[in-house]
Amino acid sequence: MTQEFPDPIGRPVEDAAQLAGVPDHFQRLWTPHRMAYVNDHTQPGQDDCPFCAAPRLSDEEALIVHRGEHAFVLLNLYPYNSGHLLACPYRHVSLLDEATDDEAIEITRLARTAMRVLREVSHPDGFNLGINQGAVAGAGIAAHLHQHVVPRWNGDANFFPIIAQTKALPYLLGQTRQDIADAWRKY
């Protein structure tokens, strides 16, 4: 069964109420272009890993907001939301259970501080925190462990990324990095 209104490029849209399982009355938006990421099983080695290269650059070039003893925090170059941070160990390790206790503890501490800093700088309504372990779990760079700290605001989800392949980010990455780095010094 198709919906009365076609999708933006004129194709019929499936009626979600007719799909297998419990009907939830949501329409589905398919993103077949994402299959390139699903099928790409290549992962950077230590020589071409962006998380290994970042600490060798200036904070501004690498978008680093804080350097710790065993780990550092930088802005995600492809953020889900403004202020999307990543806590990474310096060491090229892929899984949390491969991290040393010192690395794992510092990553957790940095994620907690990131939440405090982001609350001060941008006043989010909540956060998504996560570590995707392995490419199959959604890790874009599965070869180097990193924890996401994503600030969330009521109403921040929209269809721009799916329909227009566009992210609506109100601040430039450089300014966001500077604001977060400045606020981080208080913690």
Catalytic position from the list 66, 84, 144, 146: 146
**Global confidence as pTM:** 0.71
Verify whether residue 146 is a known catalytic residue. yes
Kindly list the distances between the CA atom of residue 84 and the CA atoms of 5, 75, 109, 130, 182, in Å, as whole numbers in the listed order: 35, 6, 16, 12, 16
Domain boundaries, the chain: 50-184
What is the second-level CATH architecture of the domain 50-184? 2-Layer Sandwich (3.30)
pLDDT, residue 56, reads 95
Instruction: Output the tens digit of pLDDT for each of the chain's 187 residues.
Output: 444 444 455 555 555 555 555 555 555 555 565 555 556 555 666 677 899 999 999 999 999 999 999 999 999 988 888 899 999 999 999 999 999 999 999 999 999 999 999 999 999 999 999 998 887 777 778 889 999 999 998 877 655 555 555 666 666 788 889 999 999 998 8
